[in-house]
Structure 1
């Protein structure tokens, strides 16, 4: 007789991506996909799923830049056109906002990419 865990279907792709954005295990949803900001945990402490061999490489930074640029540019252009604040004020303000968004989104994007790789069974590893 098979155990309940053996009969359980894998989570759906939206569920896997949501878990990745929350930096949780793509299989069981337990926190701890990443540790030390961007380091991948070798395996889940709850279900034992191994994901330490996944290599997201350049996709998380690219995705982060794409998202941050689309979040920052429209209000930046609107503010410039509507109020024309001093350039030094804009430089400092938008730099701080951009840095904060980047630091906030980068681990979440990495979690989503790792979870997507897990769901698609894309190794992305150096193993042959």
Structure 2
């Protein structure tokens, strides 16, 4: 129940938060302030996004995964159709850019939602 006596909205799943850029607490579409830049906090519920450490993990995996997929697709197209070089130079950078930006948004949002859901915190070693 929320403060007004109504039922609080259900928290989105990790997949929903990742695909739609939803706040992992309230489900509002307030996670991003830019293309792939997190907002400082949720405008709806006040969850502080700055406290989460997504880091460069999504970027590293996307570089390897998307680079492999684009290379395989470019080679398959070249072997099948033999388009001119200028067509490769026009198509593949745009495909790569779109895939990286779209994938980075989804991966960062999903990782932040997973950190929130699992209450992940920085590791500490007790002495």
- The 1:42/1:98 distance shift into structure 2, 3 A limit, reads same
Structure 1 unmatched runs, 5+: none
SS in 1 for 2:50: coil
CA drift of 1:33 comes to: 0.7
The answer (yes or no) to whether the contact 1:30–1:46 under 8 Å persists in 2 is yes
Query: Residue 25 in 1 paired to residue 11 in 2?
Result: no
TM-score (norm 1): 0.73
CA drift of 1:96 comes to: 1.8
Q: Which residue in 1 is equivalent to 2:91?
A: 93
TM-score (norm 2): 0.74
Instruction: Give the structure, 1 or 2, with the largest relative contact order (CA under 8 Å, sep 6 or more).
Output: 1
CA drift of 1:61 comes to: 0.9
How many matched pairs? 120
Partner of residue 60 from structure 1, selected from 51, 58, 61: 58
Q: Which residue in 1 is equivalent to 2:117?
A: 119
CA drift of 1:101 comes to: 1.7
**TM-align CA RMSD:** 2.8
Structure 2 unmatched runs, 5+: none
The answer (yes or no) to whether the contact 1:11–1:27 under 8 Å persists in 2 is yes
The answer (yes or no) to whether the contact 2:23–2:42 under 8 Å persists in 1 is yes
Counterpart Cα distance in 2 of 1:74 and 1:42: 38
CA drift of 1:122 comes to: 1.4
The answer (yes or no) to whether the contact 2:31–2:39 under 8 Å persists in 1 is yes
